Structure formats: C-alpha cells, structure tokens
Amino acid sequence: GAVVSQHPSWVICKSGTSVKIECRSLDFQATTMFWYRQFPKQSLMLMATSNEGSKATYEQGVEKDKFLINHASLTLSTLTVTSAHPEDSSFYICSARVRPEVPEQYFGPGTRLTVT
C-alpha cells in the first residue's frame, strides 16, 4: 500500500512553454501533498504544500504564479510550470501524507524536466 505515482516520469519542453506534472495517491487518500525540487547532488527543496480543496502554501522564494499547484481531490495534485526556462530544469518530486498525525510521507518516483 501507500503508492504514489507521478506522470510524466520525464519531459523535455521548449523554453516558454508550460508543463503539467501529475501526482496521484493510488491506494490512499492524501489530505496533504508536497512538491519538492532537487538539483543534481543537492538535497530536496520544498516548493509548496497543498491541502485538498484549498490554496497551496508556497515556500519563500518560490513564485506561485510560475509554479501553479492544484489539489483538486484527495488523490490528485498537479504542478504546472508556466513559461518554463532552462533554469527550471530539475527533478520534481511529490509526496503525500494521509494526515499530520501519521508521520510518514510517501514519495512519488519523480519527474525529470529538461527545458531546452
């Protein structure tokens, strides 16, 4: 149990276009989902926290108009990178949590984004 999927697993797009990444909890309902970004040889950087049915909370320095997050249901959250630039190329990982009292976060397999 506790499987989180991400789609696509990798994507190449041209500068200026938008890319949508989906994160799904397959066998549980996730009240909270997290979006991380990881550059090569660096640790995870939390971008935003989204709770189902409410607006996402963005970390300092993350542009909410550039990284649009929608957590429309208890099993799906999406991250849209708008007007992508080469510096947005990174490994994007989502994780899901059932509720705060349950300690573990379940991670998706990640999406590698390359912007040319």
Q: How far is the CB of 32 from another protein (least distance, A)?
A: 9
Nearest to 107 by CA among 92, 86, 89: 92
Between 63 and 104, name the residue whose CB sits nearer to another protein: 104
Between 31 and 82, name the residue whose CB sits nearer to another protein: 31
What 8-state DSSP symbol labels residue 61?
A: T
Q: 10 Å Cβ neighbour count for 111?
A: 22
What 8-state DSSP symbol labels residue 22?
A: E
Nearest to 23 by CA among 101, 100, 89, 105: 105
Residue 54 found at the interface with another protein (CB under 8 A): no
Site string for another protein, 67-106 (x = CB under 8 A): ------------------------x-x------x--xxxx
Interface residue list for another protein (CB under 8 A): 34, 42-46, 49, 91, 93, 100, 103-110, 112
